[in-house]
Amino acid sequence: MSKGGSDTMHITFWGTRGSISTPGSSTEKYGGNTSCISLQHADTTIILDAGTGIRNLGIDLFNQLKQNNIPLKLHLFLSHTHWDHIQGLPFFVPAYLKGVQLAIYGSPKKEAFLESILQRQMDVNYFPVEMNALAADISINEISEEKLNIGGLTIDWQEQVYHPGGCVRYRFTVGNKKAVYATDVELDKMFDQRNKTSKSKSLQKEYLKFIHSADLLIADGQYTTEEYPTKIGYGHTSIPLIIETAYQQKVKQLAIFHHEPQHSDSMLDKLCSQFTQKYASKDPPMTVFWAREGMTIPV
Amino acid sequence: MNISKTVRNKRRPAASKSSQATPEDISKLSSTMQIPIVAVAEGIDVKSTSHLEILQPNQPPLKIELGRDEIIIGRIGECSIYLPFSNVSREHARIFGKGEEFLIEDLNSTNGTFVNGVKISRCILRSNDQIRIGDTRIQFVQQKFRV
């Protein structure tokens, strides 16, 4: 793959579906695996979420290891621990390999410790291999610092309260390039006109500042305007709202993510054609696309 | 709710031994020919044909069938798809097969490779994807069928 300039981040979608994996011929184009993205910058490998898409990423990393014999140092950032963001972890091949370093990061504000949440997923009642038996060198970290520096990347994060149980958004900066991962948040609630408290105004401002002028924003766009009224409180955003909010904040490229399981390829194609052209022809233009498995974007 | 009671209530009385049908009885009643499942699975094969339709400015459309050989798209004469334009890099992008899929990869070009309007480093191609390299439009067309 082309490496681009030294500041280039290569972002690959391994799983783009929300809620539950949806295999089948009607989801072949955009993909049926749940949330997983990799971000490669020089020798640094960041993974965002461990939905079922992480299985294919694991196979790809294993093949790289066989080919190059360069030890894997992986950094997995979890937005939250709902199933569709952690369920692939027990099937992640590098976790079973001695010599692999896997650092997992997540919110410090969970009621239970992150380590115990992940361990419970691999309890013998749910999965035959316990987490303690994994051969990789795994560290589980509840993030305490405001900013992290890994390789040439600076990573900052914020809690997103408009999702049941909470969720973390992350921003990755290299030089003047910024990529933001802000999935699983109900912006329709965040920007509800009835929200007039100073706390809610402050949360709105924080969000807008966080995504402002991002070179790539990967954002929750699970529902259509017609679907949203029956999904209030589920913690996901309606598509026109995230697109317009991103445009107002001068986002350069927006990847709609966390696709609704009921949305087929043909429906996502229709949504794509409805919005992509409209925002490409604006001045200034914004690229809007629906994230699909197997696509790598340079940022 | 008393769960054990509910479960007990749901238990059906066991059928008497004499009324139970044996596998032999069932096969006698069946008029369907039995085919081992392995034979059924081995008999199905997924085939696909894939090609590119190239639209260059002021040129008639060109069709290129995709096979096992890698295709290089670029400005130099050695490229499989030769695009002699200043906004195309010498070796701009490549298309190659991997398993049952075709991928396109940008070769660190100056002006980028686009799939459906999105600048990509690499992308698995799906039927009717529109590739743009310079001013040239290339459509990827794939048909899959079971034989």
Query: What's the pLDDT tens digit per position in A31-74?
Result: 999 999 999 999 999 999 999 999 999 999 999 999 999 999 99
Which residues 112-141 on chain B approach chain A with CB closer than 8 angstroms? Answer: 115-124, 126
pLDDT at A234 over 70: yes
Which pLDDT score, from 0 to 100, does residue B13 have? Answer: 44
Which pLDDT score, from 0 to 100, does residue B8 have? Answer: 40
What are the structural domains of chain A?
10-298 (3.60.15.10)
Question: Could you tell me whether strands A44-48 and A73-77 are parallel, antiparallel, or unpaired per DSSP bridges?
Answer: parallel
- The two tokens of residue B142 are 């794939």
Question: Which of A272, A276, A296 is closest, CB to CB, to B122?
Answer: A296
Determine the Cα–Cα distance for residues A90 and A134; give it in Å rounded to an integer.
Answer: 9
Question: Which of B115, B121, B124 is closest, CB to CB, to A298?
Answer: B121
Residues in chain B: 147
**Inter-chain CB proximity B122 and A28 less than 8 Å:** no
Determine the Cα–Cα distance for residues B81 and B91; give it in Å rounded to an integer.
Answer: 10
- The two tokens of residue A102 are 């896997």
pLDDT at A124 over 80: yes
Question: Which of B119, B124, B126 is closest, CB to CB, to A298?
Answer: B119
The Cα of B61 is separated from the nearest Cα of chain A by a number of Å equal to 24
The Cα of A263 is separated from the nearest Cα of chain B by a number of Å equal to 17
**Inter-chain CB proximity A289 and B118 less than 8 Å:** yes
Report, as an integer, the average pLDDT of B57-78. 93
Which residues are CB-contacts of B127 (< 8 A; sequence separation ≥ 6)?
B140, B141, B142, B143
Share of residues in chain A with pLDDT > 70 (%): 98
For an interface test with A, give the residue of B48, B121, B141, B144 to mutate (most A CBs within 10 A).
B121
pLDDT at A130 over 60: yes
Rounded to the nearest 10 degrees, what angle do helices A239-248 and A198-211 cross at? 70
pLDDT at B37 over 80: no
pLDDT at A121 over 90: yes
pLDDT at B45 over 90: no
Determine the Cα–Cα distance for residues A8 and A167; give it in Å rounded to an integer.
Answer: 27
pLDDT tens digits for range B81-110: 999 999 999 999 999 999 889 999 999 999
Residues in chain A: 299
Q: Using only C-alpha atoms, what is the Rg of chain A? A: 18
Which residues are CB-contacts of A129 (< 8 A; sequence separation ≥ 6)?
A90, A122
**Inter-chain CB proximity B121 and A296 less than 8 Å:** yes
Residue of B nearest to A297 (CA): B120
The DSSP 8-state label assigned to residue A209 in this structure reads: H
Report, as an integer, the average pLDDT of A287-299. 98
Determine the Cα–Cα distance for residues A228 and A195; give it in Å rounded to an integer.
Answer: 18
Which pLDDT score, from 0 to 100, does residue A112 have? Answer: 77
pLDDT tens digits for range A3-39: 445 789 999 999 999 999 999 999 999 999 999 999 9
pLDDT tens digits for range A240-291: 999 999 999 999 999 999 999 999 999 999 999 999 999 999 999 999 999 9
Which pLDDT score, from 0 to 100, does residue A7 have? Answer: 86
Question: Which of chain A's residues have a Cβ under 8 Å away from the Cβ of B101?
Answer: 294
- pLDDT-based confidence at B144, cuts 50/70/90? confident
**Inter-chain CB proximity A294 and B109 less than 8 Å:** no
Which pLDDT score, from 0 to 100, does residue B147 have? Answer: 65
pLDDT at A192 over 70: yes
Output the average pLDDT for chain A.
95
Question: Which of chain A's residues have a Cβ under 8 Å away from the Cβ of B116?
Answer: 272, 276, 289
Least trusted range by pLDDT, from A245-254, B18-27, B64-73: B18-27
Extended beta strands in A144-286, E state: 147-150, 153-160, 167-174, 177-182, 216-220, 253-257
